[in-house]
Structure 1
Amino acid sequence: MTFPPLREELRGIAPYGAPQLDVPVQLNVNENPYGPSQSVVDDVAASVAAATTALNRYPDREFTELRTALAAYLNSSGGSGITPDQVWAANGSNEVMLQLLQAFGGPGRTAVSFAPTYSMYPEYARDAMTGWVVGHRESDFSLDLDAARALVLEERPTVVLLPSPNNPTGTALPPEAVSTLCAAAGDGIVVVDEAYGEFRRSGTPSALELLATHRNLVVTRTMSKAFALAGARVGYLAAAPEICDAIRVVRLPYHLSAVTQATALAALRHAAELLGRVDDLRAERDETVRWLREQGLEVADSDANFALFGRFEDRHAVWQGLLDRGVLIRETGPDGWLRVSIGTADEMAAFRQALTQVRKELS
């Protein structure tokens, strides 16, 4: 046996993570570029200070107040009648997803998704010792619903993972796709990952609207993106109470710290303000998509706070050229494509200038 005695299937695997580089324009991890205002900072600081007075005690392991606040927020953002016992939260939507695979996956079970999709999904499955089967999207990154349904019926997965808007493409799913796959999954759960849900274009519905119709539907969200709270690590889901109860079996004791709960509650009190720049980012995204297409590039339709664009014969050379000019984007997605997060107007202007220079240099 080789030391340390790592599981064989984990040997030689690099940890997940986008490059963290100190450059002037960072547009690679889909963060909200607008930080919290001083009023939000003050409320978070006061709330954390209050929580600190009782740090000798464990926090509320059911995070009752936070679940109530999250239910109220979801009911104002696409949901209806969602109750606190239908809400679960954890340290980022990553932990939420892992808990779902721990509870509903496992040896002899399968999870299904459709590529290109979020690169962490197969890692969640691997860590939960769950089989991983991936179907494929159409050339425009939409879902061939007949093929997707056939794959689910063939594989009988206990978990289906459907990001909407999809990462890395930004593509949103129509409600009929969610309903069809919920029906095909039978007793398996269908997880619609709406990490970027607040950025969807006008007229694009949320899967929250279907919760009352499908008992096996789970809708996940995060406070990292639209809420500009990436550093706090708060993710959550809405689902049937039975699903939330099942997750409690696999959660670690007191998994949400008192400080995390206090921070999230303070942010939710300022939801209108924190989400106030979402419209600006939507407009900047649409302008970025328009400009990229004017340059003769292909761009996926996006309902998220990023744009996937290409195609490049040597995408790494383009990525490196941008980095050399102080602009960091993400080398991800299908071969030949790159993804740029939507930043401030000044950051996007710097991106456009750098990309123009790089393309000219490489032509």
Structure 2
Amino acid sequence: MQPSWKEVSLSDLPLREDLKSQHAYGAPQLDMPVCLNVNENPYPPSPSLVEHIATAVANAARQANRYPDRDFAELRSHLAAYLTHDTGVMVDASSIWAANGSNEVIQQIFQAFGGPGRSALAFTPAYPMYDEYCRTTFTHLHTLPRTGNFMLDLNQAIDSIREHQPSVVLLTSPNNPTGTALPVDDIRAILDIAPGVVVVDEAYAEFRRHGVRSAVTLLPDHPRLVVTRTLSKAFKFAGGCVGYCACASAIIEALKLVRLPYHLSVFTQAAACAALVARDEMLSQVEAIKAERDATVIWLRSQGLAVADSDANFVMFGKFADRHRVWSGLLRHGVLVREAGPPEYLRVSIGTAAEMDEFRTALLAVMASV
């Protein structure tokens, strides 16, 4: 028998005034045959890798009565080794920090460097969570629009930084939702004049095209640079929800001032270490996803659609007079994409070849009916 609880609504609670008009962030979670809306890697771990991760978690469970390593030394060592391999820059474990997704890492950055009386600068269209980081830390957010091809107007960015003196500058490369990557020279120019920390969000960096450099290559000469990454995308480890950053050790000391104690569980640490040990297998489909992305860009453009260049595992496309009608039409065909970016655009994550075939078939049918 269910207990009887007195009913209460959100309006009955002493909620902060600035939260009363807000809505929780999140993509629609719908059970569809083809889900291409949250930029996951569509390929699951192999049975042998599942067993490898399960064994690591089972071993960790033997000491679950003890708190985990608060500074997760083993995980930081694995992340440093991977980042060194990926970028060619020698990264030490002391320059690595991790949390429950790169969202938590960036939130900690705002807790440490943002706050009342301080500001941040971002470039739109941008990841909607940037607004939330600022709202929850009482950091004022300045925004500048991207150019017609979704890049930065560097002169405008430099002028804005000089005017507003932001404590945090948010650069996203590749950018969500557009997929566009920033030239390293633009990032360097901003680092040269920014008074606070510069965060380069590289959640999709493993999908960048050949020749596109990571901002990690700038770390040795720029002590206020923070490069954030995640295992949720290319590593097909979204369920593990582990993100990390590379930066000067002094910045990590600042993040320790705001992190919750033991914020990474023993199970999270064990599973992430196991995934990084098997990084070659975890990343084994990245090239296939990149090829499918490039083919999708070509096909969408052949249909007369506007498509942003993408260095990520998704593609933003349009322009639609009524994108919600197109989104709904795709949903009726069992294909879930995302209403993201400018109002005329949709965003599709890159799935398996079979899933992308279904997407193309569905989109053609919808476009013929609108």
Q: TM-score scaled by structure 1?
A: 0.98
Question: Structure 1 residue 358: deviation in Å?
Answer: 0.2
Q: Which runs of 5+ in 2 are unaligned?
A: 1-10
Q: Report what 1:132 is aligned to.
A: 141
Give distance in 2, aligned partners of 1:336 and 1:81: 43
Question: 2: distance between equivalents of 1:241 and 1:321?
Answer: 50
Which stretches in structure 1 are left out of the alignment for 5+ residues?
Answer: none
Counterpart among 323, 326, 329 of residue 315 in structure 1: 323
Match of 2:112 in 1: 103
The letter of the residue matching 1:31 is E
Matched, 1:118 2:159: no
Q: Which amino acid aligns with 2:165?
A: R
Corresponding position: 1:46 with 2:55: yes
1:337 aligned partner, one-letter code: Y
Which of 25, 38, 56 in structure 2 is aligned with 1:29? 38
Q: What per-residue deviation string (whole Å, max 9, x for no partner) do you get for residues 226-249 of structure 1?
A: 000001110000000000111000
Secondary structure in structure 2 of the residue aligned to 1:5: coil
Query: Superposed, which structure 2 residues align to 1:236-247 within 5 Å?
Result: 236-247=244-255
Q: Deviations over 1:284-339 (max 9, x none)?
A: 00000000000000000000000000000010000000000000000010011000
Matched length: 361
Q: Residue 213 of structure 1: CA displacement?
A: 1.4
How far, CA to CA, are the matches of 2:154 and 2:48 in structure 1? 46
- Residue 3 of structure 1: CA displacement? 3.2
Partner SS for 1:77: helix
1:137-148 residue pairs with structure 2 within 5 A? Answer: 137-148=146-157
Preserved CA contact (<8 Å) 1:111 1:131:
yes
State the 1:79 CA deviation. Answer: 4.4
Correspondence for 1:198: 206
Contact 1:79–1:208 (CA<8 Å) still a contact in 2? no
Report the 3-state secondary structure (helix = DSSP H, G, I; strand = E; otherwise coil) of the residue aligned with 2:347. Answer: strand
CA separation in 2, counterparts of 1:283 and 1:213?
34
Letter in 1 for 2:126: T
Which letter maps to 1:341?
S
Whichever residue aligns with residue 128 of structure 1, its letter is T
Structure 1 equivalent of residue 91 of structure 2: 82
Residue 127 (structure 2) pairs with residue 94 (structure 1): no
State how far apart, in whole Å, the 2-side matches of 1:177 and 1:243 are: 22
Q: Paired residue for 2:297?
A: 289
d(CA) in 2 for partners of 1:272, 1:55: 29
Superimposed CA distance per residue, residues 332-361 of structure 1 (whole angstroms, 9 cap, x where no aligned partner): 100110000000000000000000000001
> d(CA) in 2 for partners of 1:201 and 1:293?
19
How far apart are the structure 2 equivalents of 1:260 and 1:205? Answer: 30
Residue 6 of structure 2: aligned partner: none
Partner of 1:171: 180
Aligned-partner residue type, residue 320 of structure 1: S
Correspondent of 1:62 among 41, 60, 71: 71
Return the alpha-carbon distance in structure 2 between the equivalents of residues 162 and 349 of structure 1.
33
Which residue of structure 2 lines up, in the alignment, with residue 223 of structure 1?
A: 231
Deviations 1:267-286 (A, max 9, x none): 00110111010000000000
Following superposition, the deviation at residue 184 of structure 1 comes to: 1.5
Structure 1 segments, 4+ long, off by >2 Å, are none
Deviation at 1:129, TM superposition (A): 1.1
Residue of structure 2 in register with 1:209 after alignment: 217
The alignment yields a C-alpha RMSD, in angstroms, of 1.0
Within 1, Cα distance between the matches of 2:88 and 2:99? 20
Name 1:262's counterpart in structure 2: 270
Alpha-carbon distance between aligned partners in 2 of 1:126 and 1:38, rounded to the nearest angstrom: 42
Task: Please tell me whether residue 184 in structure 1 is matched to residue 199 in structure 2.
Answer: no
CA distance in 1 between counterparts of 2:164 and 2:63 reads: 49
TM-score, length-scaled by structure 2: 0.97
CA distance in 2, matches of 1:314, 1:45: 46
User: What secondary structure is seen at the aligned counterpart in 1 of 2:86?
Assistant: coil
Alignment map for 1:142-157 (pairs within 5 Å): 142-157=151-166
2:19 maps to which of 6, 10, 19: 10
Identity %: 57
